[in-house]
Structure 1
Amino acid sequence: MTILTIKKQIALGLCFTVAIIFSAVKAQIVIGAPSLGFSQACASEEFNSYSTSFVFSPEASLEASNQFIIELSDADGDFANAEVIYTTTSGEITSSPASISFSIPESTAGENYKIRIKSTAPAATSSSSNAFAAYYKLQDSPFSINNLVSTGAFCSGSSYLLTIDNPGINANDSPLNYPSLTFNWYRETSATTSVFVAEGETLEVNTEGTYFVETNYGSCTSNSVSNKVTITEASNGQADATIASSLGNPYCPAQGLTTLTTIGGLSYQWFRDGEVIDGATNQMYQTNESRNFSVQVDLGECMASGSINLISELFNSDINVDSVNYLEEGETLTITITDDANNPTYEWFLNNTLLSETSATLEASEFGNYTVIISENNGCTGAVEYQFSIQEAIEQFPDVANIPNVISPNGDTINDTWIIPQEYTSGSNTLIRIFSSQGKLVFETNDYLNDWPQGNLELTNINQVFYYIIDTVDGKTEKGSITVIK
């Protein structure tokens, strides 16, 4: 073998070795630790977008099919069970530095999360980012505890249980609807400070104070906090029982029934204006009345009581006519509504037919059944309805010539009472006496109003006979019989 041939072989070997080394270098990249574009990730349905940037080298080593992946650690920063939270499309990123936006999962809750970047072609993994707090706020609105009752009481040596309401009062979104959430209870130490008491969905209290609970979102501030409840110890076996109205007080009845709720106890009894309400023995009582309500609560070793003067915001109104009114043919009755409604409207009906009148006054001359509806259209919207009738007047003292001997008191307004000539009626000082068929005096007056019989005669026969004696002041006497047709 010649020296030239040996040199060629050595040169070829060196070229091949360099090519292998170059190829190996080209097949590797180094990815720097991701830099966070945020200090903490406090996500919710309304906002969940965060960014990270990173560098990698060499750019030329990326293959066309490469994808960059963002992995999220667990809440302690461990990647043993890392979760992929974002993957780029193939070849999407080709130059360094690069930036990627991502969202955190709804199950995220902790103070020491980390992310890292991985590539697929060639495969490489960055070191982890700095630790950061991350929470997805599944529920981020105020919620209720203790049924929104602001107080509670416990007997000496006992305790009071505070609970998160589910469902929430007044349609509040109860955080108990989200099983992954946890809760921290606090007791106020001043108007602006508090101390942590315990974790959990309930809190058993045996120390006086004002308590509330927050959904545990760590260092992420949130609106997921409860109302405050002041707990006291019963004194001399008696405690105060606060009553809360779900629609407030005053309340607007147009919104439906308001729910009265008192403190928790073993048993309950509700009262209306001091009278027991039959069957009202639960912690809650619903009503649409404006009355004074009170409750007695059995706490076990002691009792609690409280009251609320419940007031309706619905407008006041009045009508100037009776439920039944009498007119003679051709007469007119003026009906007037008085009210303090806000922007009211008026609807008048005669025999269920809408009339054209829309003011607070109606001039009525037709006989029939009337209805007026007053509606308040601003503020506490609602309506009040009045019903009344106008009937043809019955002449109480018609000028009749003879004393009748038959009447039929059947309620048809025809011959219902014993109508006698005016010379014997009211103002004449005539003595009227009526006797049963057995001679028993059943009616006597010297001021007769043409109104006998005034009540139930307890008729035992189909046609029962009574007898009358009329004695005038001038000594004149009339006698006869009255047949009452059943």
Structure 2
Amino acid sequence: MKNKLNLTSLLLLAVLLISSHELAAQRAISAPVFENGSTQICASPGNNTFTVIATLSAGPALDNSNQYILEVSAPDGTFADTDQNIELARVTGPNDSNEGEIRFENFSVDESLNSDTYRLRIRASTDDSVISSESVEIAMHYFRNDLTVVLNSREDVILCNTASINRTINPVVLDDIGNELNVDDFKWQWYRGDLGTSAFDAVAIPGETSSSYTVTQEGKYVVKIFYGKCQIVYNKASSNAIEVFIVDVADVFINEGASVAFCPQDAKVLTSSETNTDYTYQWFKNDTAIEGEIASTITLPDNDFGGNYTLEVRYSEDCTVTTDPIAVTNNGSSITETLPENLIILPTQTITLQVTTDAPEGSTVQWFVDTNLQKQEPLSGTTSTFEANFVGRYRVRIQATDACNSVIESQTEIFAPIGFESTIGSGSDLTCDDTTVDIALQEMVGVTASDLRVPLTQDQYSFFDFEWLADGATTGDTETTLTVDTANQDAVYQLQADLKTGEFSNILSNEVSVKYVASDTEITLTPDSLPKDGSITLTVPPDDSYTYEWYRVVDDEEQVIEGATTNEITVSETGDYFVRIASVFCSLDTPIVTVSEEAALSAFIPNIVTPNSDGINDTWNLPDELTDSPEVEVIIYDSRGQIALQTTNYRNGDWPNDTDVSKETVYYFIITKNNSVIRKGSITVMK
């Protein structure tokens, strides 16, 4: 009877436990909602604080340690894969039996969120059966507002001389300090609008969501980091707009036609049909670029302006258009050889000023100093001269008896010096193997009171006495060129000048050392080969008197490495490299070195040899890629550093031989490929 009662009690207890569990499961949590009722959460570093609420129904109390966990679904709105669910926040309680509100206050959304179809749910940490209804779909996106999206380096794609477009354009994402981020870490959407419309009118290109886009038609293009319903909020997620179009070369011409004639006093202006300041311009006269004429218009000078003019318009690196030429005729006259811009006059010197002109003989020539007429005469021949013996502004004016009644002028200013500067350097083209070098006076200038530097003419050098100094001591050489033996590379040379009339003396040039680049200069690699996912440093000996320019040789073409101007460079690409080292007198290209990767770990090189004729490790056998190759050199050293074997085209079985075995127990090897070390180590000979 007692046993029967105990069984009844156990059954009753089981029923009570089951009922209790069912009652607990009856507690329900409403679908979570954001406190402000929003279904569009557009978070950013300055806007990432949110509150979500839900209602908990009355029912059996939960464990006091219970926490409610707010979760966001996978981007497609499902909670099937728990690994994709992200916990947003958690709170403790309410855990009593009363109806209550669950509040997740002032939490931040995860920075990885980027979908329009997330859902939220809440679950109890101590009871898996207590779980909320899923929320409605909620757009949740996070944008770093320190980002800048740059499309195609902000450059339009402009083509010419083509009928079709096929060009891939890419964005770059930069943070606020200019670091470039991985574009594949973002979602993208490409947009296109018609040329001439606003970028805001561009519409999404269906299906184009990759980090690059191949353009095949003209238009205005924008790419945006894709943020769904939050796109309009994140203005900085949009790139700059670029235009893609084909230039009709027939639309680019000089407005004045195929030919035009001017008189010298006319307003002589040529204009381009293309005037967009986004493009670059260069004017040419008789196929020679005119220095400084880089606008869409050009004003021709009063003298010597006749000739054939063209304009080059550069729209992009892919499109440069040159106009048809325009023939410009001078109906009047010109001064074909004008006065120099500025001159220095030396004590006791008289300077002969001269102009050459094509004006008719008999034209009136007037010479002025400042505003004072000094000389007037009819033109005889093609030249006119004037003797100048003091400082001032000199001007020649020719009133030509031609069809235009041309009035043409040229002027110069003559200054008195307050000092002189001279520059010496290499006097001839040299190679670094020459045994002598010429150091020569390259330029001498007079310094004016207004700090203007005016070059002296060659004939003015005769007003000076010169002497060369070596390490400050006179050499007895008094010409403007000095021949130096390059064996004496340590001496410092200067040229001293003294004005013969005594007003200026001890005028010292710059210092020059006869510094040659050693012909045996070679590049050192550190480490010997390029590590996997690493870099290698190429170095030559430093010298402050040298300049350095590094190159990479690709398909027999020398490609200069921008910014590489010191005695070392760090690279992360395999290939052939050299450096051009230059002194004042010569330059030298070092031998090319090949940067190669480390031998693969799978290419096992044995470090033990057992020459006992048992057929196992009797000889030192290398991997196939290192044998029988003229590019691979194998050197084996004994323990004293003496070479035991040095060969290319190594064949397995070449080493060791009986003589080697009798000498040493430990050897060392170095294997190079194309002069770059790829493996080195030791070999133990076990007899």
State the TM-score, normalizing by the size of structure 2.
0.34
Q: Which one scores higher on RCO, CA 8 angstroms, separation ≥ 6?
A: 1
